[in-house]
Structure 1
Amino acid sequence: MALGEFDLIQKYFTRPTPQAVLGVGDDCALLQPAAGMQWAISSDMLVEGRHFLSTVRPERLGHKALAVNLSDLAACGAKPVAFTLALALPRVDEAFLAGLAQGLFDLADAHGIGLVGGDTTAGPLNLCITVFGEVPPGQALRRDGARAGDALWVSHPLHGGLGDARLALEAFRGHVSLDGADFEAVRTAMEQPQPRVALGLGLRGLATAAIDVSDGLVGDLRHVLRRSGVGAEIGLADLPIGPVLARQPQQQQWQCCLAGGDDYELLFTAPPAAGAAVQAAAAAAGVGARCIGRLTAEPGLRLLDAQGRAVPLQLQGFDHFAAGA
């Protein structure tokens, strides 16, 4: 007998939720913020064919659906508390649901958070998660605090770099050829991004502005520049590029690293004197951090080679409505 909506929720998505006064099973979840804290709330949607391929393993899809939302909390310097899930399914596939729930809850357990509500319906495969986090008043990392003279930083995996997720997509599309080990390395970066929550918490009081790199470094940086009323210079030789992408032609490296998207690293600014503290925060979080440039009073973004000469690259971050299906 096929599972109905409420049986599906009970079997795969109902667990004890100590973070909630009232969790799954009622019309609303009831959450109690810690004394003196502000809520940080963000939602993200993953749609099959646009945000993930139909070949992705359900465990990895569950992981990524929550990871991209936790990345938003990381960029705000917020501690995750709980999340909701709205799920559309073309059909009830219990093997798929078991894998999806495993990936989702494995990451939730790693961050000590619970699923407190949501919805399920029939339709094209689509996952929408809303995350709730806490941050002390005045300590949230925002996009509008960058100042001319600040250093520009980006986090990265200890043994990798930016652009690997985009390289994996190009391999799936048949635009580049990778051997088995290289393909699996970049595929993992694409399908199982690691939200930099610990780093976000460590940057409270250090970073002047922050954003997560979801739609490409250049595109996301422009949001910060616009909100803060500043410009920036990036040293192309300073970009963190991992070993797999480094074996590609230079133009491919720059395209993937600067405009690839799906990295879910933190791009942030800090005063030049805070460099040692930033590195200490990154080390404590178990990630790398690289200073890739500086902010300027002059508006605009300039990409510079190792000799400080401007490089006229035409790059643009991902746009869900401008991009093809």
Structure 2
Amino acid sequence: MLAEFDLIRRYLMPSPTRHAADGVALGSGDDAALLVPQAGHQLAVSVDTSVVDVHFPGDAPAFAVGHRALAVALSDLAAMGAKSRWCFMALTLDQRRFADDAATHAWMEGFGQGFHTLCQRHATTLAGGDVTSGALTVGVTVMGETPQGQALRRDGARPGDVIAVTGELGGGAGGLALWQRGERHLEHPLLQRYLLPEPRLAAGEALLGLASAAIDISDGLLADLGHVRHASSVGAVLDIEALPLAQGLEEALGGEAARQAALSGGDDYELLVTLAPEKVEEAQQRLSGFGLGLTVIGHCSETPGVQGIPSGGRAGWQHFNEGTP
């Protein structure tokens, strides 16, 4: 029988070596963590829950489950323009999924590697958490910092601002479609986009002072644009021909389905931003330093709703809504 604290010590706790830059005065092993934010900064805090067979396939590689659970949470910090600092994990582990303790240890090793590799890439310290038994679920709380009063928000868009997206769209939905068809070649670019999404933290920070509003594209472009529209009390005019489609998406799904995936598929974790037209070029130059594109796909208007999209298109993913994907 596997013990909770044995799993935590072996696979989840970071290296005991800490540096002052971690901002962790007291971490894993006590009842609560003690964190030290930078002076002159605000904390950005978000929590995300990933449930097996809802947010990731039950047969997904353990490394991908660990990576993805953290990546989707960090994406919320990226949308705020925050620098990631700390995270907490609540892991519910279903040992009935494994044949024996050896299989559990093998899965946990892969899961921990996926999680900690992404932590290291984004200088994020796992400062605590919890492990329990039940249906496989990963809850991740992330904490980041933004300079006082400079965080990107959803309520800053104004009529006349352009609407732009980072990177490419539709890859998450395309990868899920391939997985459901039985595709298991993990080097396929669409499967990479679905199983191993990359949170755009550097892009979010680079857009501070330029973007008027921002959100990450998790539930689909139209759904997440809707959150910005409502928060900012603006409408939108989109040019669907300008949508930057993910590599291989049209070949995998066909032209019409590829465009629908880009509009409503979700799981892209790119950033959707609004900017004054005169700031677009500078924003594109900043992001080009990361090898990342910024594509203008429309503009904000005073007319409510969204113009320029096919009628009858799905808005995107919503929990607790009958008929959603």
Whether TM exceeds 0.5 here: the answer is: yes
Structure 1 residue 181 displacement after superposition: 6.7
Q: Map 1:236-315 to 2 at 5 A.
A: 236-247=240-251, 248-303=253-308, 311-315=310-314
Q: Which residue of 2 aligns with 1:191?
A: 195
Which residue identity lines up with residue 65 of structure 1 in the other structure? A
Amino acid at match of 1:164: G
TM-score (norm 1): 0.92
The range that moved more, 165-174 or 226-235, is 165-174
| Counterpart residue type for residue 137 of structure 1 | Q
How far the C-alpha of 1:255 sits from its partner, in A, is 1.3
From 139, 143, 147, the counterpart of 1:128: 139
Work out which of the residue numbers 205, 209, 212 in structure 1 matches 2:216. Answer: 212
* Secondary structure of the structure 2 residue equivalent to 1:268: strand
Question: Does the 8 Å CA contact 1:83/1:131 hold for their aligned counterparts?
Answer: yes
- Tell me which residue corresponds to 1:144: 155
| Partner AA of 1:169 in structure 2 | L
Residue number in structure 2 paired with 1:169: 176
Question: What is the CA distance between 1:313 and its match in structure 2?
Answer: 4.1
Q: Distance in 2 between matches of 1:274 and 1:38?
A: 25
Is the aligned partner of 1:75 residue 2:74? no
- Match of 1:314, SS state, is coil
C-alpha distance in 2 between matches for 1:286 and 1:208: 22
The equivalent of 1:85 in structure 2 is: 89
Distance 1:324 1:293 in 2: 26
Please give the secondary structure, in 2, of the residue aligned with 1:208.
strand
For structure 1, list consecutive stretches of 5 or more residues without a partner in the other structure: 305-310
2:7 and 2:254 map into 1 onto residues whose CA distance is 48
Q: Equivalent residue of 1:281, what SS?
A: helix
Give the SS at the match of 2:308. Answer: strand
Listed one character per residue, the Cα deviations across residues 261-314 of structure 1 (whole Å, up to 9, x for unaligned) are: 00000000000001111101211232111000000011110125xxxxxx3242
RMSD of equivalent CA atoms: 1.8
Q: Distance in 1 between matches of 2:186 and 2:139?
A: 31
Which string of whole-angstrom CA distances, capped at 9 and with x for unpartnered residues, describes residues 63-100 of structure 1? 11110111100000000001000000011600010001
Question: Shift of the alpha carbon at 1:13?
Answer: 1.3
Q: Which moved more, 1:46-55 or 1:7-16?
A: 7-16
Mind listing any 5+ residue stretches in structure 2 that lack a counterpart? 96-100
Residue identity over aligned pairs, in percent, reads 41
Deviations 1:107-147 (A, max 9, x none): 10011111100110000100000001001111100000000
Q: Distance in 2 between matches of 1:285 and 1:209?
A: 21
